[in-house]
Amino acid sequence: EAQVTQNPRYLITVTGKKLTVTCSQNMNHEYMSWYRQDPGLGLRQIYYSMNVEVTDKGDVPEGYKVSRKEKRNFPLILESPSPNQTSLYFCASSFSGRTYEQYFGPGTRLTVT
């Protein structure tokens, strides 16, 4: 089944404890992206990647890191999480010529206390 998977789906952590949210897709998509969704602010793009070893900042990259060492994986790293990073996070992927038709993962609910 074609899908985007994220892990974990729910995470409660404490300020400053490094964490990684994994994202994997099995559709051979070149383009992958991370978003956060907050009430009243909508979906905001954190980082995106056009292909392996090619990443670029979205609208809200501060406090996040990404890497794209393999085509199928695009992990999101929070080196020192803070409470303002409490949010619902989505990973998405698409073919590079169709970046508008993105397939979204199920979401990761992150709470930083």
Partner 1 sequence: EDKVVQSPLSLVVHEGDTVTLNCSYEVTNFRSLLWYKQEKKAPTFLFMLTSSGIEKKSGRLSSILDKKELFSILNITATQTGDSAIYLCAVGRSFGNEKLTFGTGTRLTIIP
Where on the chain is the footprint of partner 1 (CB under 8 A)? Answer: 31, 33, 35, 40-45, 48, 50, 56, 58-59, 90, 99-102, 104-107
Closer CB to partner 1, 31 or 64, in the complex:
31
Closer CB to partner 1, 85 or 102, in the complex:
102
Cα within 13 Å of Cα(25), Cβ side: 25
3-state secondary structure of 44: strand
Write down the least CB distance from residue 80 to partner 1, Å. 25
For residues 88 and 35, the answer to whether their CB atoms sit within 8 Å is: no
Closer CB to partner 1, 18 or 98, in the complex:
98
Write down the least CB distance from residue 106 to partner 1, Å. 6
Question: CA dist 57 to 27, 35, 60, Å?
Answer: 23, 11, 8
Instruction: Give dist(CA 90, CA 108) in Å, integer.
Output: 7
And the tokens for 42? 């909508």
Write down the least CB distance from residue 75 to partner 1, Å. 18
Closer CB to partner 1, 15 or 28, in the complex:
28
